[in-house]
Chains A and B, each alone.
Chain A
Amino acid sequence: MDRVRDDELHPWLRLMVQGNTAAFQEIYSRINDHIYRTVYFLSPNKGEVEDIVSEVYIALFQALPSYDFNKPFRTWLNGIIVRQTSNWKRKLWRKVRLNARYQLMPPLQSPKQPEEQVFETEGQYEMLAHVDRLPLKLRQVIVLRYYQDCSYEEIAASLNIPVGTAKSRHHLAIKRLREFIDTDTFHADREASVRV
């Protein structure tokens, strides 16, 4: 999606609002990886990703008629993704929608098992495991900054916070990550010394 320009998306988005299924397919093919992967990185419980992504799409369909075409689509979409992910735990309607959806659709197999709550703490995704331990507000900033390569201004617009707050959350998140890394290194050293 990063390489897709807004002026290429806009005609499809306008058609999609009018109920054009071909336009929906086109938009889906361009934004689904972005939505799915961002939700995956934001959500601590990977077993819920599929349901949260459905909520993101429902909110997207509802909000699209009011989208301001003068503003960047990615920032607007990120706002929806972030809100739906943080709303997820507290949503009353989750149960209702799930019930309705389960009646309509065959069950889908999740790409990850529910018990898989964190990335592997050792190996190639060690840093991501640390990101998963951050509180949601800090994790949002890290995912937008280092996965999506967003500027502070884009992060601030997506999270609906001042730029200064985005910077201070970023600063705090990095500080926490350093602490996690240092603690892990400390424990690893201790373990090594005991073995010796």
Chain B
Amino acid sequence: MFNSNQLTKQFQAKAKEIQPPSGHEVSIRELYEAHQKRRKRSVHMKPILFKVVLGLALFVVIAGFNRYIWFQISDHRMSLQYVQMTTRMNDEESSSKIHLDLKAVEAELGVGESAIVYLPELAKLYAMDKKQALVVVSNPSIITDFSKWEKILSQNMVKYKLPPTSSTGLFFVGGKEDPPFGGFISLESRKLLPELEKESEKMNRKAVWRKLVDKPANQPRIFTTTYHNEQQDEIYVSMQFIDQETDFKIATSNLENEEININGVKAHYFNTQPFFFSDSNRVQEIQWLETFEDYTLMYSIGSISPTLTKEELLRIAHQLK
């Protein structure tokens, strides 16, 4: 017979026996101190330029501020333009605050959930185009079984390439059906802007957010595979599947860009620093397109590791099979 009083008594009695091991307090304090160090470091980090992934929905139109095209990758099906914004953040505190705000939201999400975040620092910067203040963060479910992940990839793409673990020295960590950073902002979720803006004002200009219930319809399919090398640097290989005419624009500031060649295909290496999506405040990436009859794959190989070199990233990109 179930007896709730008996259950409560057993919980209370057992609780008295449960004690953390010796050294527990020290290890938690070290976690706290490490967190504070990271926080302080990011506050003092320079410079303050940053990269904003604008709503990467289909046919994004950037309006409301001046820009010029930095570089462009395209085939007959899709075009990707990197544009430089004339409006730039020049306040270092705001840049690191954005990173911490995004991390705080991420910590509140369960696996598979994503949220749209309103960032007052960005709204201030883009007073004429406040939708730029919206950023998506997610806590995607990760597939850690490589054979399962391969199955998903082959179900979605007839042909694709990944770095062979044997020759590259990489080992598979996980796969997710999401971009490496941020997420897609649908037109539907943009409608949340006025209420989020109001709420933020009420809360003394704090970052505010809403969980996104559904993934946006017609969202481009992206498959990101994550690896580690022996030094524990994290490297991602992201493949974006495009099967209809698509025009992407990515707005950024301070981009180190170089045109390179990956196995006979024109590619771009770029290094963006700072980058508010990452702890290291940096991302470097190599991007190129592979065109098939029915679809185009946009490959991005990148890393936010502060220690991984450009040469190492190039070596991995050349070995994709």
A residues neighboring B (CB under 8 Å)? 19, 21, 24-25, 28, 32-33, 36-37, 40-41, 50, 53-54, 57-59, 61-66, 79-80, 83, 86-87, 90-92, 95-96, 99-101, 104-106, 108-111, 119, 124-128, 131, 142-143, 146-147, 149, 174, 177-178, 181
B36 closest partner in A (C-beta): A19
Given A21-B29, A28-B29, A54-B27, decide whether A181 and B1 contact each other with a Cβ distance below 8 A. Answer: yes
B22 at the interface (CB under 8 A from A): yes
Is A105 a contact of B27 with CB atoms below 8 Å?
yes
The size class of the interface chain B forms with chain A is: 35 or more
Q: Does B281 count as interface, using CB distance less than 8 angstroms?
A: no
Closest Cβ of chain A: how far from B187's Cβ, in Å?
26
Residue pair B21, A50 in contact (C-beta under 8 Å): yes
A selection of 23 A-B contacts at a CB cut-off of 8 Å is A21-B29, A21-B33, A24-B29, A32-B20, A32-B25, A32-B28, A36-B24, A50-B20, A58-B35, A62-B35, A62-B107, A63-B108, A66-B101, A79-B108, A80-B108, A86-B110, A86-B111, A87-B139, A91-B111, A96-B228, A100-B232, A105-B30, A147-B8
Contacting A at CB under 8 A, from B97-114, are 100-101, 103-111
Q: Are B206 and A66 in contact (CB under 8 A)?
A: yes
Decide: B11 and A62 in contact? CB cutoff 8 A.
no
Interface of B toward A, CB cutoff 8 Å: 1-4, 6-8, 10-15, 18-36, 39-40, 100-101, 103-111, 139, 141-142, 144, 173-174, 206-207, 226, 228, 232, 234
In the complex, the answer to whether B40 meets A19 with C-beta atoms within 8 Å is yes
Query: A61 to B32, Cβ gap below 8 A?
Result: yes
Q: How far is the CB of B38 from chain A (nearest CB, A)?
A: 10
Contact B21–A108 (Cβ < 8 Å): yes
Chain B interface mostly helix, strand, loop or mixed? helix
- With contacts A21-B29, A146-B8 taken as known, whether A36 is within 8 angstroms of B14 at the C-beta atoms is no
B305 to chain A minimum Cβ distance, whole angstroms, is 12
Closest 6 pairs between A and B when the two form their complex, measured CB to CB: A92-B142, A147-B11, A62-B107, A66-B104, A59-B107, A63-B107
Q: Is B111 a contact of A90 with CB atoms below 8 Å?
A: yes
Q: Nearest Cβ in chain B — how far from A133, in angstroms?
A: 14
Contacting pair B10 A125 (CB below 8 A): yes
CA distance A66 to B15 in the complex (A): 30
Interface majority SS (helix, strand, loop, mixed), chain A: helix
Q: Are A124 and B13 in contact (CB under 8 A)?
A: yes
In the bound complex, CA of A86 to CA of B108 (Å): 13
User: Do the beta carbons of A65 and B29 come within 8 Å of each other?
Assistant: no
In the bound complex, CA of A125 to CA of B24 (Å): 26
Known: A28-B25, A101-B27; 15 extra A-B contacts, CB below 8 A, are A25-B29, A32-B28, A53-B28, A54-B31, A63-B104, A92-B173, A96-B228, A105-B27, A105-B30, A108-B23, A126-B10, A127-B3, A142-B7, A177-B2, A178-B1
Q: Are B11 and A109 in contact, CB atoms less than 8 angstroms apart?
A: no
Give complex CA distance A177, B13 in Å: 19
B232, A96: Cβ atoms closer than 8 Å = yes
Name, among A80, A92, A124, the residue most crowded by chain B CB atoms within 10 Å (CB to CB).
Answer: A92
Count chain A CB atoms within 10 A of each CB in B7, B22, B36, B104 and give the residue with the most. Answer: B7
Compute how far the CA of A183 lies from the CA of B73 in the bound complex, rounded to whole angstroms. Answer: 66
How far apart sit A86 and B109, CA to CA, in the bound complex (Å)? Answer: 11
Contact present for A41 and B11 (CB under 8 Å): yes
Nearest opposing residue in chain B for A58, CB measure: B31
Residue pair B207, A128 in contact (C-beta under 8 Å): no
Partner of A127, one of B10, B18, B25, B106: B10
Q: How far is the CA of A192 from the CA of B14 in the complex (A)?
A: 29
Inter-subunit contact B28/A54 (CB<8 Å): yes
Task: State A142–B11 Cα separation when bound (angstroms).
Answer: 10
Residues of A within 8 A of B27 (CB): 54, 101, 105, 108
> Min CB distance, B51 to chain A, in Å?
22
A37 / chain B contacts, CB cutoff of 8 Å: 15, 18
Per the bound structure, the CA–CA distance linking A175 and B71 in Å amounts to 63
Q: A36 CB to closest chain B CB, in angstroms?
A: 5
Assuming the A-B contacts A21-B33, A83-B110, are A128 and B104 also in contact, with contact meaning beta carbons closer than 8 angstroms in the complex? no
Residues of chain B within 8 A of A100, CB atoms compared: 232
Q: How far does the Cβ of B292 sit from chain A's closest Cβ, in whole Å? A: 30
* Known contacts A40-B18, A58-B35, A181-B2, A124 near B10 by CB under 8 Å: yes
Determine the chain A residues whose CB is within 8 A of the CB of B232 once the complex forms.
96, 99-100
**Bound CA span A36–B21, Å:** 11
In the complex the two chains form, is B35's CB within 8 Å of A61's CB? yes
Q: Which residue of A lies closest to B105 (CB)?
A: A66
Q: Could you tell me if A92 and B21 are in contact, using CB atoms closer than 8 angstroms?
A: no
Instruction: Please name all residues of chain A whose beta carbon is closer than 8 Å to the beta carbon of B25 when the two chains form the complex.
Output: 28, 32
